[in-house]
Amino acid sequence: MTTSQNHDLGKLRRKPRQLSTILLFGGPLLWFAVVVAHTGAQAFVALAAVAFYLAVLVAVTGMTRTVPLRSLLSMFMFGTAAMIITSFLIKFFGGLGLAEGTFLRDFFVPLLEEAVKIAAVAVLLWKGRKFASRFYGVSDIILLAAASGAGFSAAEEAALVGNSGAGQLLWWMPVVHVWPDAADAGHAIWTTIAGATLAFAVVMGFRKPWMKRLALCGVAWSFFDHFSHNYTAGHPAGGDFLGSVLNVAHGAGWLSIWLMMLLVAAAVFYDLQLLKTNMAPSSGIPAMPPAASNFEQVKDWWDLTLWHRRAGYIASQIKHTEGVECDRLSKFHALITRGLGQSKTPDATATSAGDAPATTDA
């Protein structure tokens, strides 16, 4: 590590906020302990299911992601905290006309839950709009959204696992509950879809007016599918006209599953093309060194890989900004590029979700 590089990339350091970290992790962990006490082994089955879903997404985006795993854990915990808050709100509003089985409840609950889950990601991106968010590709934002949805669903899934009325878990995607004639995509998938369209709009820089509408398409579909599932569950398609229409319109719940997979594949392809274009030799970003052999060297190599990708994503952002914003991003890009060129192991301290991205990751 060179002194000059410490000076350059050290400018990217942020101090973790210990109190907020304790509150963010402590509350959900306490809540999960209560869930375990009430549901026993079912809680661990549900946690394993959402962990598997996130692990598959992390693996699929392994060639494009830059977001640290600890940021995904923080977003997972935030999703769990959001579920706690919304459950109390729904219970409170239950006495104000949102009784079980009413149309108002079937409409309001999905609207509230889908808005809360994606709001966490939107706030994170807004807070980091001048710095941290510029390091993200489409797949990074999708991962953050998926973590929020997975955290939200963990406790709810614990109550559903083993419930005969909740259907069976889909073996190749165990966050999905299936019946002979329908499927429930679940919170993790719904929020992944909402995050995907938001991610494409953010990374493309909202360059066209239609991109603002694109950003909302995912959460709109997630709300529709969530509402359709809730309504048709209480109104069988054969005996209710609206239930029949909704059942067809959302593909009996299966459309969201295929749509999620399509969006994730598109995100990885888009990010790969973005990195290929912006990390070309002519970009000024130093070439990646060959992969290392021992564990410590592999950690440094992976750390370096993430910084190369971040430089590539910032370079893509520069192309659709202008004025002061363009100058500021160009300085960030030059800072990172200079640091990469001066040492084999760029160094910056780990940060909490929403701040500058951590540089040592798994």
- Where do the domains of the chain lie? 29-278
Count Cα neighbours of 155 within 13 Å in the Cβ-side half-sphere: 24
Residue 13: its pLDDT value, please? 46
- How many CB atoms neighbour CB 332 within 10 A? 21
* Token pair for 191: 């929020």
How far is the C-alpha of 323 from the C-alpha of 329, rounded, in Å? 10
Per-residue pLDDT of the chain (362 residues; tens, 9 = 90+): 444 444 444 444 444 456 556 666 676 677 677 777 766 777 788 888 999 999 999 999 999 999 999 899 889 988 888 888 888 888 888 777 777 778 888 999 999 999 999 998 999 999 887 777 888 999 999 999 999 999 998 877 776 665 655 678 898 999 999 988 899 999 999 999 999 999 999 998 876 778 888 999 999 999 999 999 999 887 765 567 888 899 999 999 999 999 999 999 999 999 999 999 988 776 677 777 666 666 667 778 888 888 889 989 998 888 878 888 888 888 888 888 887 776 544 444 333 333 444 444 55
Residue 342: its pLDDT value, please? 67
Residue 325: its pLDDT value, please? 81
Residue 47 neighbours by CB under 8 Å, 6+ apart: 32, 154, 158
**Phi then psi dihedrals of residue 161, to 5 deg:** -60, 130
Residue 354: its pLDDT value, please? 39
How far is the C-alpha of 247 from the C-alpha of 241, rounded, in Å? 10
Residue 209: its pLDDT value, please? 77
How far is the C-alpha of 195 from the C-alpha of 109, rounded, in Å? 19
Residue 346: its pLDDT value, please? 42
Residue 296: its pLDDT value, please? 67
Q: Where are the beta strands (DSSP E) in the chain?
A: 168-170, 173-179, 182-184
Query: Which residue type occupies 268?
Result: V
**Phi then psi dihedrals of residue 80, to 5 deg:** -65, -45
Residue 52: its pLDDT value, please? 95
